[in-house]
Amino acid sequence: MATFSKRLLALLVAPTLLCAACASGPHAVRGDDKPGIDYAAMGTGLDRRDLQKMLNENMETMRHAAVVQRWLAENRPSVAVLPIRNETSEHVDSALQALISDVETKLIEWGAVKVISLENQQEMLSEIRRQYAEGFDQTQIAHWGKQIGARYFVTGKVYTTDERVGDQHRVQYYMFMQVLSVETGEILFQNKSAVTKAIIRD
């Protein structure tokens, strides 16, 4: 009987110990379950918070720039948002693609322009992406504008600088946002925002 009781106790205790061991190791969590998880840096790579911060700073500067007053005077001209070029070694192309919708949303909220979505013009968008990959050609601006029906383009690019000293590592990321005139190719607005990520030893 004593042996049976010991076996029964072992069967009851084992799952508890196993669960305790699982909890102490790596495990999946949701952002809602772990407050602040979206804010902590997991490394020196670009993440959603970094990209959103740089975009918001650029768009806020644009909102107060002369180009928006120009749009208001022109009675809501048509604007399209081109892809944001990734000039870094980071694999953030899908995240930058998602930012296009954020830019479009902000432009719509301002009420100064009519926004033309390139998502509905897949063939043209594929051609633009191909040319971006081969090297951006400023002379294509007018051609794209006529094809899409836009008078202005909003676009951007992300760059990086990387430095290492001993066991410390610092990466600085820069996002430029531009407004281009389709008619002339002139840059009517440009602004830069930046974030720094680092691995340091205190």
| DSSP per position, 117-184 | PGGG-HHHHHHHHHHHHH---GGGHHHHHHHHT-SEEEEEEEEEEEEEETTEEEEEEEEEEEEEETTT
Q: Is residue 32 part of a domain?
A: no
Q: Is residue 90 part of a domain?
A: yes
Q: What are residue 86's DSSP bridge partners?
A: 158
Q: Which residues form the domain of 52?
A: 48-199
Q: Is residue 146 part of a domain?
A: yes
pLDDT at 16 over 50: yes
Q: Is residue 6 part of a domain?
A: no
pLDDT digits (tens, 9 = 90+) for 130-168: 776 666 666 778 888 888 889 999 999 999 887 777 777
Domains in the chain: how many in total? 1
**Is 0.85 surpassed by the pTM of this model?**
no
- What is the chain's mean pLDDT, rounded? 80
pLDDT tier, 21 (very low <50, low <70, confident <90, very high otherwise): very low
CA atoms within 13 A on the CB side of 104: 18
Please, are residues 103 and 154 in contact by the beta-carbon 8 Å criterion?
Answer: yes
Q: Is residue 119 part of a domain?
A: yes
pLDDT at 84 over 60: yes
**Can you give the CATH number for the domain in which 137 is found?**
3.40.50.10610
CA distances to 11, 12, 82 from 5, in Å: 10, 11, 71
pLDDT at 33: 56
Q: Is residue 13 part of a domain?
A: no
Please, are residues 108 and 81 in contact by the beta-carbon 8 Å criterion?
Answer: no
Q: In angstroms, rounded to a whole number, what is the distance separating the alpha carbons of residues 32 and 26?
A: 17
Please, are residues 96 and 129 in contact by the beta-carbon 8 Å criterion?
Answer: no
Tokens of 22: 């699982």
pLDDT tier, 92 (very low <50, low <70, confident <90, very high otherwise): confident
Selected residue with higher pLDDT from 93 and 126: 93
Q: Is residue 38 part of a domain?
A: no
Q: Is residue 126 part of a domain?
A: yes
